[in-house]
Amino acid sequence: MTDDEHADWATGGESAGPHERRRERAAGRLDAVGAAGLIAFPSRNLQYLTGFAEEPGERHFFLVVPAAAAGEPEPALLVPALYETQVREATTIGEIRTWSDGDDPVAATRELLADRGLDSGRLLVDDTMWARFTQDLRAAAPDATWGLAGEALADLRVRKDEAELAALRSAAGVADAVVGDLRDLGADAVGMTEAALADWIADRLAERGGRGVSFETVVAAGENGAKPHHGHGDREIRAGEPVVLDFGTRVDGYPSDQTRTLAFGGDPPEAYREVHEVVREAQAAGVEAVGPGVPASAVDRAAREVIEAAGYGDAFVHRTGHGVGLDVHEEPYLVAGNDRPLEPGMVCSVEPGVYLDGRFGCRIEDLVVVTKDGCERLNRTDRGWE
């Protein structure tokens, strides 16, 4: 898809709202992959297609989207009765069926699938659907064959429309503002535990308009920084040691995800400063490489070459980046072997790191949107350790 094509695609053109447009496109994608329909449960796919966000629970809750080839039958929801009002308010789905506690939800599911002509054929279910629900779907449609919804939806979700880009920009702005707050905190962070600083970050994210945290906040001080997904613990922050700070929040359902490695209340040792400079150059090289038509793997290579040339290749223990959308980690993955060309509207992280066991870690991460002639950074704050 070119940038002009993406601009048309991203803004729609039809009068339908974003969720209706996404359901229509999903129905077309189902045809393209030879599926009769898809079934989502409370998941990011359901949120993408309806606007309704809910955590999975023990009650049966399904969105059914038939393929366009079936004569464009309407999508439908089957929801627990206690959800009916909020689902009606939050979505534009025409048919919402309910079942009440004490009813048989599998019988209601069987009836809905049969009414939509989805009691046979190939049906795609959420990649994240709990096994107990996939088992009940098999019982409700014993003649169907099964696949995963990502087959149809990943190619839609990978390019962001205007509503998604606006939310991602806002969420990134909140995270950037909190990086500023952390720099202002300065020496006052010394003596705080990682956990206390993680709570402090969560409070600042909320104050600045974010909703919750988009993943467990990483505050990894000193040697803990060598574990890329350390989270946070009881370790106290010491003056001048590098602290890996990787955090995000959500705005309008979309997350931020950025990392800075900072030193509070003093300068870090020379050995760290050298590593920080290498990672900063690698991150710049990765961002520089992002553009339309560039294989995802080439961005990984561009960042990795800088780190390898400095002699730290073995210490860069993860891919250079991942796509970001409703899921914090989604396609496209910037990793060796993924030669998929980047396209306008894709959003991904660029986050090289160096991790030296028992000593320290350093990671610098920004989100970028692929544009027609390169990329736009969503995170713009300084990348230094100060």
Q: Which stretch binds Mn ion (CB under 5 A): 147-155, 226-234, 236-244, 347-355?
A: 347-355
* Nearest of 292, 284, 297 to residue 369 by alpha carbon: 292
From candidates 227, 301, 318, 377, binder to ligand GLY by CB under 6 A:
318
* Total chain residues near ligand GLY (CB under 6 A): 5
Q: Which stretch binds Mn ion (CB under 5 A): 116-124, 218-226, 269-277, 343-351?
A: 343-351
319 near ligand GLY, rule: CB under 6 A: yes
From candidates 170, 261, 349, 379, binder to Mn ion by CB under 5 A:
349
Q: Which residues contact residue 114 at a Cβ distance below 8 angstroms, ignoring those fewer than 6 apart?
A: none
From Mn ion, ligand GLY, none, interface partner of 238 (C-beta below 5 to 8 A by class): none
Work out the number of other CB atoms within 10 angstroms of the CB of residue 25: 18
From candidates 322, 348, 378, 385, binder to ligand GLY by CB under 6 A:
322
Pairing of strands 330-334, 254-255: unpaired
Backbone angles phi, psi at 198, to 5 degrees: -65, -40
As measured in angstroms, the least distance from the Cβ of 247 to ligand GLY is: 12
From Mn ion, ligand GLY, none, interface partner of 257 (C-beta below 5 to 8 A by class): Mn ion
As measured in angstroms, the least distance from the Cβ of 356 to ligand GLY is: 17
From Mn ion, ligand GLY, none, interface partner of 319 (C-beta below 5 to 8 A by class): ligand GLY
Of the pair 235, 318, the CB lying nearest ligand GLY is at 318
**Cα pseudo-dihedral 40, 41, 43, 47, rounded to 10:** 70
As measured in angstroms, the least distance from the Cβ of 260 to ligand GLY is: 13
Of the pair 50, 320, the CB lying nearest ligand GLY is at 320
What x-and-dash track marks residues 220-259 binding Mn ion by CB under 5 A?
-------------------------------------x--
What x-and-dash track marks residues 122-151 binding ligand GLY by CB under 6 A?
------------------------------
Q: Which stretch binds ligand GLY (CB under 6 A): 50-58, 132-140, 202-210, 314-322?
A: 314-322
What is the maximal distance between C-alpha atoms in the chain? 69
**Span 163-202, contacts to Mn ion by CB under 5 A:** none
> Residues 355, 275: contact at Cβ < 8 Å?
no
Q: Which amino acid is at 100?
A: S
Identify the burial level of 373 via C-beta atoms within 10 angstroms of its C-beta, where 0-12 means exposed, 13-18 middle and 19 or more buried: exposed
Distance of alpha carbon 141 from alpha carbon 123, whole angstroms:
10
End-to-end CA distance of the chain: 41
Q: Which stretch binds ligand GLY (CB under 6 A): 69-77, 92-100, 138-146, 316-324?
A: 316-324
Tell me 177's DSSP state: H
Phi-psi region at 124: left, alpha or beta (left = phi > 0; alpha = psi -120 to 50): beta
**Cα pseudo-dihedral 29, 128, 195, 176, rounded to 10:** 0
DSSP of 331-370 = EEEE-TT--PBP-TT-EEEE--EEEETTTEEEE-BEEEEE
230 near ligand GLY, rule: CB under 6 A: no
From candidates 228, 291, 325, 345, binder to ligand GLY by CB under 6 A:
228
Q: Which residue in the shown chain puts its C-beta closest to ligand GLY?
A: 318
325 near ligand GLY, rule: CB under 6 A: no
Work out the number of other CB atoms within 10 angstroms of the CB of residue 55: 6
Which residues in this chain contact Mn ion in the complex, by CB under 5 A?
257, 349
Q: Where along the sequence are the contacts to ligand GLY (CB under 6 A)?
A: 228, 318-319, 322, 351
